[in-house]
């Protein structure tokens, strides 16, 4: 069984475990922009080569 179908190269089980490193809150997957969104922190963490980059310094501000 392939858990990667709906999220491209990202394993669905991994997405269920990840939280924002700053707020420890939930993340939303944005497939169109290949990002994980933290609404509480107002940050979008990039996904590069199927790997979420969970560094606040690499995240895009959602207030831009």
The 3-class SS string of 4-39 reads CCCCCCCCHHHHHHCCCCCCCCCCEEECCCCEEEEC
Residue 64 has pLDDT above 70, yes or no: no
For range 8-19, the mean pLDDT: 82
pLDDT tens string 15-43: 889 999 999 999 999 999 999 999 999 99
Task: Establish if 5 belongs to a structural domain.
Answer: no
The pLDDT confidence band at residue 11, using thresholds 50, 70 and 90, is: confident
The pLDDT confidence band at residue 8, using thresholds 50, 70 and 90, is: low
Domain count along the chain? 1
Q: CB–CB of 29/10 below 8 Å?
A: yes
53 three-class SS: coil
What's the rounded Cα separation, in Å, for the pair 30 and 43? 12
**Domain containing 23: what range?**
12-61
CATH number for the domain spanning 39: value is 2.20.25.10
Looking at the whole model, is its pTM more than 0.85?
A: no
């Amino acid at each position: 069984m392939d858990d990667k179908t709906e999220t491209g190269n990202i394993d669905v089980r991994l997405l269920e475990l990840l939280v924002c490193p700053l707020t420890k809150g939930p993340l939303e997957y944005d497939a169109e922009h290949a990002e994980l969104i933290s609404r509480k922190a107002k940050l979008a963490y990039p996904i590069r080569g199927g790997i979420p980059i969970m560094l606040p310094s690499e995240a895009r501000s959602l207030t831009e």
